[in-house]
Amino acid sequence: MSVWAIGDLQGCYDATQRLLEKIRFDPALDRIWFCGDLVNRGGQSLETLRLVHSLREHSVTVLGNHDLSLLAIGERREEEQRKVNADLQRIVMAPDSAELLGWLRMQKLVHVDRGLGWMMVHAGLAPQWTTQLAERHAREVEERLHGPQYQRLLKNMYGDGPAWHPRLGGMDRHRAIINICTRLRYCSPRGRIAFEDKGSPGTQPIGLYPWYAAPGRAERDLKIVCGHWSTLGLFIGHGVHAIDTGAVWGGKLTALQLDTDELRVVQVPGRDVPAQPPRPRRPPTPAQNQPTRRQGA
């Protein structure tokens, strides 16, 4: 038996099949952890969601930001659903949409296996959160998402604020937890998320840190596997194993074996992305042809 974690699929069905074949995944013996963002952008989101759903007895899935957005879209009126991209439209208009979205809604924000020594989250943890706090806070949102008031949660989860604080309550608290678990990349040492900064480490403004390297962060007793951050690429450090390697952008789809002391990473090519034609160069405008005049000249 082997346990594998796989990074963001984002609707890349062909790449997912290639990776399952390469790791020789046997549903009778093996188990898969999916790091979230199963859908969107890849062009094969319906097929990908159906594949993961078919493996539900042999896998664990945590929700990513794109998965939550899909759930919210599934609750809208049909005329609003027709305004979203075609990849997601195919899911919400599919004959098995209710079954697929009903299953997706019952998935977790955080998955923990203390016997194995691993925690899985889509994006990251607040600097102050231990693994125990992360699990406890995630369960608060999961109870609401899995319960009869889930529609209110999905309708009100959008927004960049407020920043996390233990005294937050109600929807503000749930939104802050969702943002941390599904959208976090950079943050301040106090946990304020920089939502607009998405580049690789070294490109962020002064005072911001990758979430796993924020000064004063809590000590954690589990290894963490996550996705979400394609520009970070494959990263292993600080007890974190980040495995979103940009399959949907023409990078690779990555699997990491969790039940071995030996670091074992398997990758396959991601989605084929057509090359962008070069933009035609514009002739300089008359103003650009004029020499720059000094002030007072």
Q: 292 in a domain, yes or no?
A: no
Q: 281 in a domain, yes or no?
A: no
Tell how strand 240-242 and strand 265-269 pair up. Answer: unpaired
Look at residue 272 in the predicted model and tell me its pLDDT: 87
Look at residue 33 in the predicted model and tell me its pLDDT: 98
Q: 129 in a domain, yes or no?
A: yes
3-class SS shares of the chain: helix, strand, coil, % to 5: 35, 15, 50
Q: How far is CA 150 from CA 68, 70, 98, 291, in A?
A: 11, 14, 15, 63
Q: 262 in a domain, yes or no?
A: yes
How many domains is the chain partitioned into structurally? 1
Q: 293 in a domain, yes or no?
A: no
Q: 15 in a domain, yes or no?
A: yes
Rounded CA-CA distance 36/59 in Å is 12
Adjacent-strand bridge partners of 50: none
Are 93 and 65 spatial neighbours (Cβ–Cβ below 8 Å)?
A: no
Q: What is the mean pLDDT of each run of 10 residues along the chain (297 residues)?
A: 97 98 96 98 97 98 98 97 96 98 98 98 98 98 97 97 96 98 97 96 97 97 98 97 98 98 96 64 41 35
Count the Cβ atoms, other than its own, within 10 Å of residue 132. Answer: 13
Rounded CA-CA distance 94/199 in Å is 35
Which DSSP state fits 36? S
Look at residue 196 in the predicted model and tell me its pLDDT: 96
Rounded CA-CA distance 259/199 in Å is 31
Query: Is the bond preceding residue 189 a cis peptide, omega within 30 degrees?
Result: no
DSSP per-residue codes, 182-230: HH-SEE-TT--EETT--S-TTSSPTT-EEGGG-TTPPP-SSEEEE---T
Instruction: Tell me the residue length of the chain.
Output: 297
Q: 202 in a domain, yes or no?
A: yes
Q: 163 in a domain, yes or no?
A: yes
Domain with 218 in it: 3-273
Q: What is the CATH number of the domain that holds 162?
A: 3.60.21.10
Look at residue 290 in the predicted model and tell me its pLDDT: 38
Adjacent-strand bridge partners of 119: 112, 224
Question: pTM to 2 decimals?
Answer: 0.91
Tokens of 213: 């390297």
Contacts of 132 (CB under 8 A, 6+ apart): none
